[in-house]
Structures are given as structure tokens and as C-alpha cells.
Amino acid sequence: MPALSFKFSESTTGFLKITPESRLILTLVASIFSLFFGQIVPLAILLLVTAVYISLEIRFRYIAIVYLFFAFIALTAVTFVWLLGFVFTVMKDQPLSMAVIPFMRLSISINTIIPLAFNSKLSELISTLNKLRLPGLIKLPLIITIRFIPTFINDLKQLRQAVRIRFRGVSGYGFWVLRPFLWSRVFFMPLVVRLIRSTDELALATELKGLSAETDFGAQRLIFGPTDKIVLALASIAVSVSFIIENLHAHG
């Protein structure tokens, strides 16, 4: 969602033109199979295939940024746990091949999530949700959520600026740690009031427009172009091959 990743708006190579539906399918398939494979060879095949996929979709610079970001998060988490006094004995008594497997799984999912998250436009994603034929009970809140995240991010930024102007000097990063009650008064309360106001207004507007969970938002059929068919076919071949290898190893 470029709206969420405003810095990554120029991340796409534009080389592989596939629909968000295909990206969604690839992400789901990769997540499920990477989780259930336990051998190194099938995981390596999936890793290679997804690496080719991400390098066709995303510019190298952005792939590097994403991987650095994930490494940073992992490092913070490890440091935090280490600080809490847990002795970290991960590598103990284990061959290196076993130690890398969780990281391979993580890389496989990153490789498929990033194209989905960065290269799908907000409007495309909403129309994809329409095509998926979810029940209206889920579809209506989901579409509203996706539509309003960028708006609320903007609201939050404005609130933060207001707090900075009003509390010059104290409103650093540690503001809420040092004065949590003041923080909740000047930041959190206005946020909630604003949220409830917009809830009431939007609910009224939706009802006046005659929209409800039963509204058909113009559901369309799933259409796959030639590129989608080729990519999905290659993906299913890769998954089948690794599935066969996984089972050969398991029984042999």
C-alpha cells in the first residue's frame, strides 16, 4: 500500500505487470508452504524463486532497505530479550543447516509480502477485495479501514505537531514516559474524541447514501492476464517440485 509506505512510492521496477490478486495468491501460497516445509532443499527452492520474483518487482535499493529494516527490528528484539536476562542458547547442539531454516522461512514471506504491500495501489486493493466475494459483514468494515488509515495517519501527525507546539521543550520522545497522564490528556483524548466524531458523521453519511453491508460494491470477476497465468504457473511448478522433494526426504 503506497499510502502506508509513502517513502517507497518509487519502489517498483514496473517490469512484471501482474494484478494484485496474483500477488495475494503468491503471498498466501508462499506463507503456507514455507511454514509447513521442514527440509532445507524445498525451502531453498522457494527462497530462490521468491528472490527472483521480488527482484523483478522491486528495485534493488528498496529490497536492501527492507532487509536492513527487518534486521534492525530483529536485533532490537534480541537485545531486549538478552537484557531481560535470558541466556540465548540457540545454536547449541544443532547443525548449521537447522539453524538457518527459520530465517529462510522469514525471507520467503518477506519476498512475497513486499511486492504486495508496496506495488498495490489503494484503489486496486479495494477492487480486489470486491472480487474476493467476502461476506458484506466483513467487507464493509475492511474497505472503510483501508480507506481511512492514510487519513488517520495524517490526523495523528497533526496532533503530534500541535502537542509539540504547545509543549515546547518537554515534548520529546520521552514525553509519554515522563508524564503519561499529561500525554493521555493532550494527545490521546483529542484522538479518541476526533475518532468518535468522525464515526458518527461517516455512519450518517453511509446510511444517507443507502450503503449497507448488503450493498453490492460492483463485484467483478477475477480476470488473469497472460503474465499472471505464466507467473502463477511457474509458482505452482516450483511449489509442486519442492513438495515432492520434501516428501521424498521425509520417507527416504
Partner 1 sequence: MASIRAFLNGRGFFETSDLVTIGLFSAMTKASTLILALAGGGMNPVTLLLRSAVHAALLMVLLAKVPKTGVLTLFNIVGSLLAFFLMGQAMLALPTIIVGTLAVELLVRALGGLEKHPGLGILAVAASELFSRAANIGLAYLGVREQPGLLVMVVVISAFSYLGILIGLAGGIRMIKELRHAGLIV
92-151: contacts with partner 1 (CB under 8 A): 92, 94, 98-99, 101-102, 105-106, 109, 112-113, 116-117, 120, 125, 135-138, 140-149, 151
- Of residues 17, 61, 157, 229, which one binds partner 1 by CB under 8 A? 157
Stretch touching partner 1 by CB under 8 A, among 60-68, 202-210, 224-232, 233-241: 202-210
Selection from 131, 146, 103 nearest residue 24 by Cα: 131
Binding-site size, partner 1 (CB under 8 A): 83
Please report where in the chains the cell 522433494 appears, as a residue.
245
Beta-carbon count within 10 A of 110 CB: 17
What is the C-alpha to C-alpha distance for residues 249 and 42, in angstroms, rounded to an integer?
10
Nearer to partner 1, 107 or 238 (CB): 107
Q: Which of residues 216-245 bind partner 1 (CB under 8 A)?
A: none
Q: What is the DSSP letter of 58?
A: B
Q: Does 55 bind partner 1 (CB under 8 A)?
A: no
What is the C-alpha to C-alpha distance for residues 195 and 158, in angstroms, rounded to an integer?
14
What is the C-alpha to C-alpha distance for residues 194 and 181, in angstroms, rounded to an integer?
19
Q: Does 60 bind partner 1 (CB under 8 A)?
A: no
Site string for partner 1, 7-46 (x = CB under 8 A): --------------------xx-xxx--xx-x--------
- Residue 130 to residues 126, 127, 133, 203, 229: CA-CA distances in angstroms? 6, 5, 6, 20, 21
Q: Does 204 bind partner 1 (CB under 8 A)?
A: yes
What is the C-alpha to C-alpha distance for residues 213 and 41, in angstroms, rounded to an integer?
46
What is the C-alpha to C-alpha distance for residues 72 and 66, in angstroms, rounded to an integer?
10
Q: Are the beta carbons of 246 and 42 closer than 8 angstroms?
A: yes
Q: Does 48 bind partner 1 (CB under 8 A)?
A: no
- Of residues 170, 203, 219, 248, which one binds partner 1 by CB under 8 A? 203
Helices (H), the chain: 20-36, 40-57, 60-83, 96-119, 122-131, 136-166, 175-178, 180-183, 189-208, 226-251
Nearer to partner 1, 212 or 226 (CB): 212
Q: Does 156 bind partner 1 (CB under 8 A)?
A: yes
Instruction: Find the shortest distance in angstroms from Cβ 202 to partner 1.
Output: 5
Site string for partner 1, 160-199 (x = CB under 8 A): x------------x--xx------x---xx-xxx-xxxxx
Nearer to partner 1, 208 or 226 (CB): 208
Instruction: Find the shortest distance in angstroms from Cβ 243 to partner 1.
Output: 17
Q: Does 250 bind partner 1 (CB under 8 A)?
A: no
